[in-house]
Every structure is written in structure tokens, then in C-alpha cells.
Amino acid sequence: MARPKLTDGQIERFQMVVPTDEIGAIEKWRYNNRITSKSEAVRRLCQIGLAFDSEQRSAKDLIRSALDATTTGMRDLLDEAANADVDLNERLRRIASTLMAAVTAELAAFQDMVTTDGTATAMQRDGEIEDLKLEIAKLKKALKGANR
């Protein structure tokens, strides 16, 4: 039986040095997924990882946009509440509290997501996550001040 053609392009061969525990995990995955060879298992795992990375980057961008929009909305609501009558002020406070819970949940999901793919270090270095946490803390403080 002939070996299946991997690609229409050129094929390169390379050697890898892999820790024993990772080899064991690859072998286990290969066996569970009925893959015929270790090299085919590594190739498929690489394809899965590349596809996952691409999708995760798109999801992170969407979540980042949602967080930005939500924090902007919170700022606008708090500005509106400062100039509103008492009844409207109370309604705006309730809406702001709900949005704050949503922002906190979005930030937690975002932080969990970035820690799974190795970009967390870069994002921590850029300060994106810390900036969002500071923004949420400011909004919470402003919200508590509006409650008084």
C-alpha cells in the first residue's frame, strides 16, 4: 500500500528533540485516535494547533472589542447618571451594575483565553489586561460613589 501524498508542495524533513513525557502523550493521542505513525500524529497535532491558534486570535479580537465597547458604555452611563434626576439615576445605576458584572465576566474569559496559548506574557508586558482591570476598578469606584 502506497503512502498517502501529504501535500502538492515540497516536503521538508526535520528532526526534533522531544521530552519523554511529551512523546508518551503523543503516543497516547496517536493510539486513541488510531493514527498509524508517530510522525503522522505530530503532523496532525500541528495542524490542530495551527487551526486553534488562528480561531483563538479571532476570538480574542472580538472579546477585546466587546470589552472596549462595554467599558465605553459604562463611562457614558456614569456620566449620564451624574446629570440625571433621582429616578433615572437609580435605573442607570442598576443598568451599570449589570454591565459591570458582564465586563468582569468578559475579562475573566479573556484572561483565561490568553493564558492558554502563550500570548499572555506578551499581553501582560503590554499591560492590556492590567489596564482593563484598572478601568473596571475605576468604574466600580465611580458606581459606588453614585450609590451614595
Write down the domain spans for the chain: 60-147
Which distant-in-sequence residues (6+ apart) come within 8 Å of 73 by Cβ?
Answer: 99
Per the model's pLDDT, the better-predicted residue between 127 and 2 turns out to be 127
Average pLDDT over residues 6-24: 83
Q: Which CATH number fits domain 60-147: 1.20.58, 3.40.50, 1.10.10, 3.10.450?
A: 1.20.58
Average pLDDT over residues 97-114: 70
Q: pTM to 2 decimals?
A: 0.44
Mean predicted lDDT score pLDDT of the chain: 73
Chain centroid to CA 2:
42
Residue 1: per-residue pLDDT: 46
Of 45, 61, 51, give the one whose Cα is nearest residue 114: 61
Q: What is the pLDDT of residue 102?
A: 72
Q: How many helices (H) and strands (E) does the chain have?
A: 5, 0
